[in-house]
Every structure is written in structure tokens, then in C-alpha cells.
Amino acid sequence: MTKMTMREAISKALWEEMERDERVFIQGEEVGVWGGTYAVTKGFYEHFGEKRVRDTPIAEAAIVGSAIGAAMTGLRPVAELMTINFAFVAMDHIINEAAKLHYMFGGQFKLPLVIRATSGGGRQLGATHSQTPDAIFAHFPGLNVVSPGTPADAKGLLKSAIRSDDPVLFIENATLYQTKGEVPDDEDYLEPLGKSKVQREGDDVTIVAYSKMVQAALKAADMLAEDGIEAEVVDLRSLRPLDMDPIIKSFKRTNRAVIAEEGWRSYGVGAEVSSRIYELAFDYVDAPVKRVAQAEVPLPYNAALEQLALPQTEDIYRAAKEVVYG
């Protein structure tokens, strides 16, 4: 095990998979000579060369569209989008091609494609560059949507995504890149796609989260422990497929749940998870399921207002106390 940042874990996963399989290549804006907007691919261009680390024009539709074609012909592309907000430009390719082609052609070819994109707010980039629209992409069958909350999961899930024969949207929260954690050194360390994971055990309340909110949930759980409340934190890790088994198992013990996401509350991940809890474990409900999410406004540029709109550790802490004490 080595302690490293999430940025380093993602970079290491990409490097190891490119060394392992010469069909893997990266393309995107500034991924080559510049080393990536967030320095994830720093040094890749010099080591792997321009054929496998390809700088592209500022054209997201072309980045994703050409990657789809490459995947259909036997390569394993990793297409990087500077931010998930720019994925809207490539929406037709992602939703109507990547997610559907394998199915619509009766499985005659595979589509081993990974689309990496940063998501989330908190960096004063304005409303059009700070969105967390993960639930939009998770709505569509055929597209795996992954969003890790720890460095270890980032490495293991990305390696699994690259080895998968199905298209994967791999969402990285930009404010997590400096988060540190223990990461296995094994070059074949994999985490399964589509499986939730208990990140902290507890018996009093279940906190469900993913991506950046996992770290907030773990901090909230520590605060709750000081009050004598033991919270279990379940990390979704994947939004499609959505693994409810660990959540339902936990909820049947705790009988109370809080769901935290950085995206907007309306029509979001929390709405889906809470609905499934009511459907699958209604007889175990001792308190209404609480949802913690971003305020229903375009995210402000002003630093203080931005943080006021984003969900915080304290919001999860208060929601958990409410469901415990009623």
C-alpha cells in the first residue's frame, strides 16, 4: 500500500493499463504536451508518444465521436473531457451512440470506451463550469456511470473501466484530486464496476453518498460519533448500474437514512435511492429518509455564496441527527 492523492491514483491506473495493453490510448484537450488540465497525464506524452497520447482540438463531439469509432474497431480509447459540462456538446455521441450501439447491432461488436470528465463545484468557475449533472447520464441504459470517492477506489475502478468491454463514463470530482489515501500497489488491483461499498460501519443511521460527498459523510460520521451516534457510510461508487444491496442491508439494521449528493435535489440520485429504499424496505422505515443536496440555483461565482449553495459536512450531520432523534 502507498499513500497517494486521487490525482496520483488515477494517473497510476492509466499508466499501468497503457503499459499492460498497447490498444489503450488517451485523447483529449491538452492531455499530451501540457500533461492534462489537472496534470493527470503529465509525462505520458514523452513516454508513450504522440500516437497513444493525442492532443485534440477544442471539439468534444469530435473527441468522443472518434473514440467511439476507435473502440468499434478494436482499440481501447480513454477520451478525456476537460469538464463534464462540455459533455453536453457531445451528448448525441454519448447517449445515442456509445450507450446504444452494442444493443442496437445485436452485440456484433464491443464498445470498450472510457470517457473521463471532471465534475462538481467549489472552485469559483461559474454556473456553466461547476455543475454536477451525473444523474442525467445515469438515466440512460447502456452507459456505465462511475464516480469514486477515495483514491483506492479511483485506481481500482478506472482500471476495471479500461478493461471493460462496455462504455464507461468515469466522473472525477475536481476538488478531490488532492485527497490522500492508501492505495494498493498491485498492478492487477481492480474494483468491480456497479458495486456499492461500505466505507464506515455503524448501527444507528445509514448515510448514502458518492464522490465528494463520501468524504463529507465520513467527516459527518466522526462528528456524530462524538454525540454517541454511529453512522454507517455506504459509497455508491457507480450510479449505473446502481447497487442497492448494501444500502438495503444497512437500512434494515439502522431503520434511518440520509442520502448526500452534490447535484441538485430535484430528479437527482438521492431521489432515486430514497424511492428504492421505500420500495424495498418500507416495513423498516422508522423516520422519513432525508436528502442533502445543492441549493436549487445555478451555482454562484462568489466564493461565499458558492459554498452556501453547495452541500456541506454540517448539513449531513444535522440531517442525520434529525432522523435519529425525530
What is the rounded distance in angstroms from the CA atom of residue 231 to the CA atom of residue 229? Answer: 6
What is the rounded distance in angstroms from the CA atom of residue 236 to the CA atom of residue 250? Answer: 13
- Full DSSP string of 171-202: EEEGGGTT-EEEE---TT----TT--EEEE--
230 as an active site residue: the answer is no
Q: What is the chain's length?
A: 326
Nearest CA among 4, 26, 5 for reference residue 15: 26
60 as an active site residue: the answer is yes
Q: Which of the residues 17, 29, 60, 232 is marked catalytic? A: 60
Q: Which of the residues 8, 129, 172, 272 is marked catalytic? A: 129
Angle formed by the axes of helices 212-226 and 313-325, nearest 10° = 50
Amino acid at residue number 63: I
Amino acid at residue number 157: L
| CA angle in degrees (0–180, nearest 5) for 305-308-314 | 160
Nearest CA among 175, 174, 134, 172 for reference residue 153: 172
Active centre residues (catalytic): 60, 129
